[in-house]
Copies of this chain bind each other. A is one copy, B any other.
Amino acid sequence: MSATIKSVAQYAGVSIKTVSRVINNEGTVKPDTLAKVQQAIDALDYRPNKAARDLAGRDNYVLGYVYDNPNAYYILAMQNGILKECRSNGYELLIHPCDATNPDIIDELVNMVNSARLAGLILSPPLSEMPDVLHAMDEKGIQYVRVLSGDKAPDDKPCVLVDDYQAARQITGHLLDQGHRRIAFIAGEKQHHSTTERQRGFYQALADHGIKADPELVIDGTYSFGTGVQSIQQLLALPEPPTALFACNDEIAAGALFGARMQGVDVPEALAIAGFENSPFSTQTFPPLTTASQPTAQIAQRATSSLIRSLQARKRKAENHTIPADIFVPELIVRESTSR
């Protein structure tokens, strides 16, 4: 049988109420008492019983993860990170796939939150970037945390930032360091902020090296293999084709790699290719792709943690309890697709 609040209290030599205060972060516990309790919790591997909390308290300890994203790897990684944090805080997760282009999406979300009595929502792109959705949530008093592309929080509501701009700058910088001067860029859907941020980083890196981007080398597409194949054909047909390519994600990069090979262009010898995301795709190509890795699960975990802290803060009516936004910069991973 697993540990209960009672056994933790006994172990730590305090009352169950004090343990309750610790697990709810009520903040009115002396540091050394807190340490004792924390230690007891760890020692006994205690996890609050959700049913009991739900029954005794007035809120439900359930969070919702709403997503609309075709990238299964991303979703799963997010989910794992969220789950991990939920578990260690005695929350449960309700998973809700949805269609962001559905005009009734807002009603759908509000209904879901109400009928399942969710404590809060975790939003990832593109939902986290839809002003209408966010506005509706604010209006209904629904708490949420967003995972966002950017380097600065747009407001003081909880969010976790992924600095695509900086990472894209690094990738482009890497290509420039290899001596490339004609570097192409293939963009994904422009609705995703990640796309525009990555593009911004691309331009900035060029500018850093005093290079003017050639508009011919920048192509708009979608986050798909097909975009990569088509775009690279177009690029290679240019009178002066690029010597390097930065694709907005690995899937596009894989498509471009495929397309280049089909045309007899060697990678990386004649064309260096870099992707973004470090998806399983990126190691399954020949040669493997240089890319940028976002620690998605960790991002999700941090986001969930912010949400929970914000929920707890609101519960005890702490004022202005703003949680500083975390920033993650995806890390450059150099593989053979860009080796000299």
Residue A225 interfacial (CB < 8 Å)? yes
Mark interface residues in A53-86 (1 if CB within 8 Å of B CB, else 0): 1110000100000000010110110011001000
- Selected contact of A83 from candidates B1, B95, B226, B258, CB within 8 Å: B95
Report yes or no: A115 in contact with B47, Cβ–Cβ below 8 A: yes
Report yes or no: B115 in contact with A2, Cβ–Cβ below 8 A: yes
**Distance (Å) between the CB of A71 and the closest chain B CB?**
9
Interface size on A, residues (CB 8 A): 39
Report yes or no: B225 in contact with A285, Cβ–Cβ below 8 A: yes
Residue A92 interfacial (CB < 8 Å)? yes
CA distance A204 to B47 in the complex (A): 53
Residue A49 interfacial (CB < 8 Å)? yes
Report yes or no: A55 in contact with B47, Cβ–Cβ below 8 A: no
Residue A255 interfacial (CB < 8 Å)? yes
Q: Which residue of B lies closest to A279 (CB)?
A: B72
Mark interface residues in A255-282 (1 if CB within 8 Å of B CB, else 0): 1001001100000000000000000100
Mark interface residues in A1-35 (1 if CB within 8 Å of B CB, else 0): 11000000000000000000000000000000000
Q: Which residue of B lies closest to A1 (CB)?
A: B114
**Distance (Å) between the CB of A21 and the closest chain B CB?**
21
- Selected contact of A284 from candidates B72, B95, B226, B262, CB within 8 Å: B226
Residue A51 interfacial (CB < 8 Å)? yes
CA distance A70 to B73 in the complex (A): 10
- Selected contact of A2 from candidates B92, B114, B258, CB within 8 Å: B114
Mark interface residues in A92-115 (1 if CB within 8 Å of B CB, else 0): 111101000000000000000011
- List chain A positions with a Cβ less than 8 A from chain B: 1-2, 47, 49-55, 60, 70, 72-73, 75-76, 79-80, 83, 92-95, 97, 114-115, 224-226, 229, 251, 255, 258, 261-262, 280, 284-286
